[in-house]
Chains A and B, each alone.
Chain A
């Protein structure tokens, strides 16, 4: 948001979605597996803000159809979801982590190409620690940065395991473009996977 944009209240969409750094999660997966004994939970999702208009709904429908067709030849499955805050999700299950990364990149690129890149909020990758407790890595499209999100098992209290998050951020500091501003490590409660 430049000076003149603020001055004239143009409120153009804030920042173009940064898609390319998404691939960094592939190297991080390797590190997590070998050094932290964390496995990919074989599921990940992309979260975006829908637009209440026919053209957008069409694009979304086309994308879902396309993905379902593509999923026929692979063990991957896709399911759409809408959370309580009104955000749309596309959730993918696949035992091939690389495929998850590629498909999420493809979907976000598709939205960007259609001119709706600003609607993208985040991509979420789930890992399981040795006790099968979830550890999430969230990619923020506006920032092009990752950050860890580790909810405490009793997630009704909405507590995060900050020590683990900070430690993971250090461990993966070389692999991932890590969000430096801790205040932007926004939680995502009640994730659908």
Chain B
């Protein structure tokens, strides 16, 4: 049995994702090796970052739901939503996630939870009012794919390293500022007059690694969004439904508002929203954002539709 082409994974996307992951791993490994050859005192930051990442994995869902003021709904309270998600869960062979609704006019949806057993899908009343059934289902299928792909876990691991590097960078900054050169970072240095130079190099290397890892985790996040878009199209059988939903959502979100959110504030939970609060159309802005621009996402979805139309008969 041959599969129609559009069923097959997007090889280009997979390759780019693998390359990003390999690059990130190599970067962190090299960074730790270099740092480890100079001093061992950074181990404490690895531990702190580990604890933070662990907390994030277990509590990010609760924090996200709390900050959205979302409440869990029962099948009786939201029968239509349940019916939709149940069918999708069946289709994706996943256990039924919990359903939360947040009372806000901002149209959005996100998935959270560390694994498929603890998965939660949250939608806002704004998105429910704005989208029709087919579009709503496409959005839910996008979130379902995030669960299927274990995106929460993967993005937490990816941001764990970025978080660690940032911690080290900040501590280096304060150490440098207050002249603690002879302190924690001088462990293996032979002579003190070389200290300042070595410190500066470590500081610069850490800064560069921090920026590069930030951009790369964001890149990874965007690839995973594309993957979730594909998954949505596979589950619903119609890329057009998601494309149309994205158009409606982005119209009402990026109404020229200036975001209050800190750019460096990498949160895996919010990273899995269907559309972030501000997506820039320009490519430079996209480099730093968790989601591809709506325009790029729609282009990909339409390419998928074209593939479906051209699917040759296999039988």
Task: Give chain A's interface residues, CB within 8 Å of chain B.
Answer: 1, 6-15, 49-56, 59, 84-87, 110, 112-119, 121-122, 140, 142-143, 158, 181, 183-184, 186-187, 189
Contact = CB atoms under 8 A, between A and B. Distances in A.
Contacts of B286: none
A187 B151 CA distance: 28
A8 B92 contact: no
Interface stretch (B161-169, B173-181, B226-234): B226-234
B308 A115 contact: no
27 contacts: A1-B148, A6-B149, A6-B150, A8-B9, A8-B14, A9-B13, A9-B224, A12-B7, A12-B8, A14-B92, A14-B93, A15-B93, A52-B240, A52-B241, A52-B305, A53-B309, A59-B313, A85-B83, A85-B133, A85-B137, A86-B133, A113-B1, A115-B314, A115-B315, A158-B76, A186-B87, A186-B96
Given A11-B234, A49-B236, A115-B314, 10 more contacts: A6-B148, A11-B9, A12-B8, A13-B234, A52-B237, A52-B239, A121-B87, A158-B75, A186-B90, A186-B96
Given A9-B17, A10-B9, A115-B3, A143 B93 contact: yes
A14 to B, nearest CB: 5
Interface in B32-89: 75-76, 79, 83-84, 86-87, 89
Nearest to B5: A115
B4 interface: yes
Interface in B1-22: 1-4, 7-10, 13-14, 17-18, 21
Nearest to A184: B95
Given A9-B149, A9-B228, A86-B137, A122 B93 contact: no
Contact of A189 (B83, B90, B228): B83
B91 interface: yes
A29 B234 CA distance: 35
A74 to B, nearest CB: 24
Given A8-B18, A11-B148, A14-B148, A112 B1 contact: yes
Most buried by A among B14, B75, B96: B14
B134 interface: yes
B255 to A, nearest CB: 30
Contacts of B4: 55, 115-116
B144 to A, nearest CB: 10
Contacts of B214: none
A118 B84 contact: no
Contacts of A143: 93
Contacts of A53: 305, 308-309, 311
Nearest to A7: B154
Given A55-B313, A115-B7, A11 B145 contact: yes
B90 A12 contact: no
B93 A114 contact: no
B148 to A, nearest CB: 6
Nearest to B2: A115
B160 interface: no
The 10 closest A-B pairs by CB, nearest first: A9-B227, A11-B231, A52-B238, A51-B237, A53-B308, A10-B9, A142-B93, A9-B149, A115-B314, A14-B93
Most buried by A among B18, B95, B224, B234: B234
Contact of B237 (A49, A122, A142): A49
A157 to B, nearest CB: 8
B181 to A, nearest CB: 42
Nearest to B241: A52
Which of B83, B236, B240 has most A Cβ within 10 Å? B83
A116 B79 CA distance: 29
B96 to A, nearest CB: 6
A8 B10 CA distance: 10
B223 interface: yes
A142 B95 CA distance: 12
Contacts of B145: 11
Contact of B95 (A56, A85, A183): A183
